[in-house]
Amino acid sequence: MATSQGAKGEPVLVLGWQRKRCHPRRLSPKTSRLRASLLFLSPALLALAIFSVWPMIRALYLSFTEYNIIRPPRWTGLDNYRQMIADSQLHNAVVNTLVYAAVGTVGVVVMSMGLAAILNTKFPLRSLVRTAVFLPYITSLSIVAIAWSFLLNPEIGLLSHWLNEVGFGTGQGVLRSPQLAMPAVIAVGIWKNLGFYTVIYLAGLQSIPRELYEAASVDGAGPIRRFFKLTVPLLNNQTLLVAVMATITNVQVFDQVYVMTQGGPFFKTDTIVNLIYRSGFTKLDFGYASAISWLLVAILGVLAAVQMIYFRRRAVRY
Amino acid sequence: MRRSLRLLGKTGNTVLGLSCALAVLLPILWIVSAAVRPNSDITAFPPTLIPRELTFENFIEVFERLPFARLYGNTLAFAGIATAVSLTLDTLAGYALARLPFRGSNVILGMIVVLLMLPFQVTLVPLYELMQKLDLVGTLPGLILPRITSAFGIFFMRQFFLSLPADLEDAGRIDGASEWRIFRSLMLPLSRPALLTLGLFHFQAYWNDLIWPLIMSNRLENATLPAGLAMFAGQATIEYSLTMAGSLLALTPLVVVFLLVQRTFVQSIATTGGK
């Protein structure tokens, strides 16, 4: 195997460097492989260091300062974090984000699983339906969100009109209603990613051995029972993947909120990233924005860890 | 009895599937419909999905009322260059991690997996600060630089290269090919589907990105299509048909590319769910 040079890695590196000086062409295979590996890796690692790792650390430092970019950051210790504890706007944004993430994630998991189950059966126009459902994933959320707000506009909106016709009058409009704005924003988020997760579930469904269903049928289990007792548990691996990916995406919700509601009405759809954007790039309070962005990292870390622990115990192996 | 039940199930699935597809397509259909009619037809009561009056003026007017050609060029350059550079760096790094491991490369891999979970927003403030110091705010390089590689791309390519057979590179080594030759002539030609998939992933992410271009564009002329259209829609809320014509033009390239490479793309996503 190509991996066996492990333990001798570093001495070989020194040897290679010395040897390179006298006989540049005769490197040992291991050394040339190590050299190639480092050469291949270095551009990407350099870029990651400059544009991901360093900014992350810098943001942590800035979170302990007062900073408006014009004047140099001034160390204020835990002031920003103290402010966060007292800031009711932040509490509101965190609660909204968690509600969005919880409802949006559960919603998209249930819907994509159901849709995959439908698409896994043969029916006419199936591939057309699959393409249609996947299409939103590659469209720009912010651009389609403009269309959604027009559709939901109380005066000219087609969807508002249809809702009115069937008796769901929305009065001042869905996006201006404190009760309906959040569900609308969640629905648009689900709409965007539904097709992507459906594809993952479809692959999972296709990997379930058929004999399991035959055995269950022989034992007298009906289609609904088979779905809940067999299909759902056997899709646990996919559900872990979908749940983690959807949670990460949902906690970072911004685009459609920015376009459709700007966090309103009455901050009912204000989210964490919205608040980072507002604190930093509108109010120029970059220290506080950095502190909130680290709160976002912490929330994401905790949620991802909890989900992994929950689903790892239920992993499926054939 | 059993047969008719099956037929019922099949019809039920067809109806369910088609109604899902229609519901999902509604906003896209509406964009198309609103783009090809005058504003007066959109605001007329009752609202309809099918235009009552057709016009293609909107597509011309959007170039006059907005710096639309600039926005288009910016988006194309940003998404195109960032995708090309990122594909190159991601592939090289992913290949090294999968095929040329060394002591400590697992630590690097671990760090990349951690970065995979990192929300981009935590880097927004320092990146903006950096770009301001380099005087790159509102420029194309400023927009592109943070996207020249991605932890996701490196991880994705690593997973792909792990799946290639080892015999291949051993054969190359026995023939005395250099590591670069093995990569370039043996491995790279085999990675077309992976490159295509990651390329579309990157291209759609950069083409559609909102928050970074929004922050980096100090004027409408420097924005990308999503940021520019979001700004315009925020100011001119009553210019429905104009905004939708711009939106349609902005969405079209990606939809076309997707329809072309759909099969490869969807298959690659499906396999990522397998492990």
Q: What is the DSSP string of B61-108?
A: HHHHHS-HHHHHHHHHHHHHHHHHHHHHHHHHHHHHHHHS--TTHHHH
Q: Tell me, what's the pLDDT at A16?
A: 40
- Structural domains counted in chain A: 1
pLDDT in tens, A113-172: 999 998 888 888 888 888 999 999 999 999 999 999 999 988 888 898 898 888 887 778
* Residue carrying structure tokens 């210790």: A77
Cβ distance of A121 and B13 shorter than 8 Å = yes
Classify residue B112 by burial, with Cβ atoms within 10 Å: 0-12, 13-18, 19+.
buried
Cβ distance of B119 and A252 shorter than 8 Å: yes
The answer to whether residue A25 scores a pLDDT higher than 90 is no
Q: Give the max Cα distance, chain A.
A: 87
Residue A11 is assigned to a structural domain of this protein: no
**Which one-letter DSSP state was computed for residue B47?**
P
What's B238's DSSP letter?
A: T
Strand pairing class (A65-66; A74-75)? antiparallel
Q: What is the DSSP letter of A176?
A: G
Q: How far apart are CA B271 and CA B101, in angstroms?
A: 24
Please name the helix (run of DSSP H) or strand (run of DSSP E) that holds residue B228, with its range, or none.
Answer: helix B225-235
Q: How many helices (H) and strands (E) does chain B have?
A: 14, 0
CB burial of residue A209 (10 Å; 0-12, 13-18, 19+): exposed
Dump the DSSP string for B151-179: HHHHHHHHHHHHTS-HHHHHHHHHTT--H
Domain ranges, residue A189: 80-312
Other C-beta atoms lying within 10 Å of the C-beta of residue A132: 20
**Confidence tier at A26 by pLDDT (50, 70, 90):** low
User: Which of A31, A26, A25 has the alpha carbon at shortest distance from A8?
Assistant: A31
The span from the CA of A120 to the CA of B230, in Å, is 38
Using DSSP, state whether A22 is helix, strand or coil. helix
Is A32 in contact with B179 (Cβ distance < 8 A)? yes
Would you state the pLDDT for residue A70? Answer: 85
Nearest CA distance, B159 vs chain A (angstrom)? 15
Instruction: Report the interhelical angle of A286-312 vs B124-133 (nearest 10°).
Output: 140
pLDDT class of A21 with cuts at 50, 70, 90: very low
**Per residue in A191-208, pLDDT tens?**
999 999 999 999 889 888
Cα pseudo-dihedral B160, B166, B170, B173, rounded to 10: 20
Task: Note whether B10 contacts A296, CB cutoff 8 Å.
Answer: no
Q: Tokens for A117, please give them.
A: 């189950």
**Complex ipTM > 0.85:** yes
Considering CB atoms only, which of A40, A69, A133 is closest to B21? A133
Smallest CA–CA separation between A69 and chain B, in Å?
A: 7
Mean pLDDT by 10 residues, chain B (275 residues): 67 84 91 91 86 89 91 95 97 94 91 89 93 93 95 93 85 84 89 90 94 91 92 80 92 91 80 52
For residues B16 and A260, what is the distance between their CA atoms, to the nearest angstrom? 29
Q: What is the DSSP string of A33-80?
A: HHHHHHHHHHHHHHHHIIIIIHHHHHHHHHTTEE--SSSPPEE-TTHH
Q: pLDDT tens digits for A66-79?
A: 998 888 999 998 99
CA end-to-end span of chain B, whole Å?
41
Q: Do B122 and A296 touch (CB under 8 A)?
A: yes
Question: What is the H or E stretch that residue B110 is in?
Answer: helix B105-117
Choose among B104, B119, B183, B193: nearest CA to B152.
B119
- In this predicted structure, the answer to whether residue A256 has a pLDDT above a threshold of 90 is yes
Which residue of chain B is at minimal alpha-carbon distance from A252? Answer: B119
Closest CA to B99 of A86, A277, A140, A41: A41
* DSSP H helices in chain A: 9-22, 29-48, 54-62, 79-86, 88-119, 126-138, 141-151, 158-165, 181-206, 210-218, 223-226, 232-234, 236-251, 255-260, 272-277, 286-312
Residue A13 pLDDT more than 70?
no
The CATH number given to whatever domain includes residue A105 is: 1.10.3720.10
Torsion over CA: A116, A120, A124, A130 (sign) = positive
Give the chain B residue nearest A151 (alpha carbons).
Answer: B27
* Cα Rg, chain B, nearest whole Å: 24
Fold of B68-205: MetI-like fold (1.10.3720)
Biggest alpha carbon–alpha carbon distance for chain B: 76
Q: Does the structure show a pLDDT above 50 at A1?
A: no
Q: Confidence class of residue A111 from pLDDT cuts 50, 70 and 90?
A: very high
pLDDT band at A237 (very low <50, low <70, confident <90, very high): confident
Minimal CA separation from B58 to chain A, in Å? 16
Residue A215 lies in a domain: yes
Q: pLDDT higher for A5 or A88?
A: A88
Q: pLDDT value at position A230? A: 87
Q: Looking at residues A91-104, what average pLDDT do you find?
A: 96
- Could B270 and A304 be called an inter-chain contact, meaning their C-beta atoms sit closer than 8 Å? no
